């Protein structure tokens, strides 16, 4: 089973977060380079049986067998694919495999799960042949979706994630973080109903297509700033914002842009752990900490 970390990012933070319509909040600190790696699971290739799985089928990732989606499973197939004929005869390294697989699998996951994928615990996950299978001529590629648990590894789950980002379903898979999304290189996931500092705000911002030139950090920040302010206002149901929260966003690194990581993800952050989410908290209610 092969996977790819979420994109590398840059962070911009607003301290003493006050979302005032029509006002400009000074930017401090400057954007910092970070690497967002929710999962530490080691990738592994799959036996050829995984190449026979079809879209919407669920797979037990430990045995690489198709199971009913009502039964425990790790993977949900978003689309079967094939590697291009131009791939080398010798087994490629992981960088080359990801470069060929991830753009397709990201696109299929977004279409299958929904466009809020990057603000959720769901992730595109390519599966490809073992070295032995490759030597036999296998070139199948299975694009799947997984859910990451608090231990930052794919979890065994039941039920389908098709259209999981539709409407309020998003909040079943919302990203909350144990650490600081504005300072930490690696985001450690935490259950949103337990102690956490950061919350991903729904409504991620597309910064372009992976076939487009990579925008500069200045261009990405200029687009992300008004978007994240507006989305945070809406998420909090606080038209005038709150001064006890920090607004931040994470941007793709240039090296990950061609893989399909082309979104800005907005986060709200508290200085003290929160015990439930900030959704619709309003302007004056005390923080749930």
Chain centre distance of CA 253:
14
User: Hunting for tokens 């992300």 — which residue is that?
Assistant: 224
pLDDT the model gives residue 278: 97
* Token representation of residue 93: 């390294």
CA distance 19 to 13: 13
CA distance 168 to 224: 23
pLDDT the model gives residue 23: 24
pLDDT the model gives residue 178: 95
Which of 273, 279, 81 minimizes the C-alpha distance to 177?
Answer: 273
* Token representation of residue 159: 């039920």
Distances (CA, A) of 89 to 86, 93, 134, 135: 9, 12, 8, 8
pLDDT the model gives residue 73: 95
pLDDT the model gives residue 45: 67
- Residues whose CB falls within 8 Å of the CB of residue 218, separated by 6 or more in sequence, listed in order: none
Q: Kindly report the three-state secondary structure assignment for every residue of 53-76.
A: CCCCCEEECCCCEEECCCCCECEE
Provide the whole-model pTM.
0.84
Radius of gyration for the alpha carbons in the chain, expressed in angstroms and rounded:
19
Distances (CA, A) of 62 to 67, 74, 131, 148, 274: 12, 8, 18, 15, 35
Digit-coded pLDDT (tens) for 255-277:
889 999 999 999 999 999 999 99
pLDDT the model gives residue 47: 64
Digit-coded pLDDT (tens) for 2-41:
333 344 444 444 333 333 222 223 223 333 333 343 334 4
pLDDT the model gives residue 50: 60
CA distance 254 to 217: 9
pLDDT the model gives residue 48: 56
Q: Is 65 in contact with 43 (CB distance < 8 Å)? A: no
Q: Is 102 in contact with 2 (CB distance < 8 Å)? A: no
pLDDT, mean of each 10-residue run, the chain (289 residues):
40 38 29 36 56 89 89 95 95 92 94 94 91 92 91 89 89 94 87 95 94 93 92 94 90 89 93 96 94
pLDDT the model gives residue 5: 37
Distances (CA, A) of 102 to 1, 94, 111, 137, 160: 13, 11, 14, 21, 21
Kindly state the DSSP code that residue 5 receives in the 8-state scheme: P
């Amino acid at each position: 089973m092969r996977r790819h970390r979420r994109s590398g990012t840059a962070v911009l933070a607003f301290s003493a977060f006050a979302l005032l319509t029509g006002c400009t909040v000074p930017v401090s600190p400057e954007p910092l380079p970070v690497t967002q790696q929710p999962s530490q699971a080691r990738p592994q290739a799959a036996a050829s049986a995984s190449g026979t799985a079809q879209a919407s089928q669920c797979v037990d990732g430990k045995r690489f067998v198709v199971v009913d989606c009502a039964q425990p499973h790790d993977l949900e197939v978003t689309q079967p694919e094939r590697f291009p004929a131009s791939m080398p005869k010798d087994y490629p390294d992981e960088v080359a495999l990801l470069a060929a697989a991830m753009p397709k699998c990201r696109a299929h996951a977004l279409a299958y799960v929904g466009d809020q994928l990057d603000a959720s615990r769901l992730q595109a996950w390519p599966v490809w042949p073992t070295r032995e299978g490759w030597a036999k001529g296998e070139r199948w590629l299975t694009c799947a979706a997984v859910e990451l648990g608090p231990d930052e590894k794919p979890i065994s789950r039941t039920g389908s994630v098709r259209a999981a980002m539709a409407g309020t379903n998003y909040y079943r898979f919302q990203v909350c973080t144990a650490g600081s999304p504005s300072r930490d290189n690696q985001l450690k996931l935490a259950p949103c109903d337990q102690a956490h500092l950061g919350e991903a705000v729904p409504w991620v911002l597309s910064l372009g297509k992976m076939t487009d030139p990579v925008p500069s950090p200045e261009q990405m920040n200029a687009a992300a700033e008004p978007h994240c302010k507006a989305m945070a206002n809406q998420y909090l149901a606080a038209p005038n914002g709150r001064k006890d929260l920090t607004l931040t966003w994470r941007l793709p690194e240039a090296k990950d842009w061609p893989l399909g990581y082309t979104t800005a993800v907005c986060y709200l952050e508290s200085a003290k752990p929160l015990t439930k989410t900030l959704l619709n908290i309003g302007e004056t209610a005390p923080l749930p900490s």
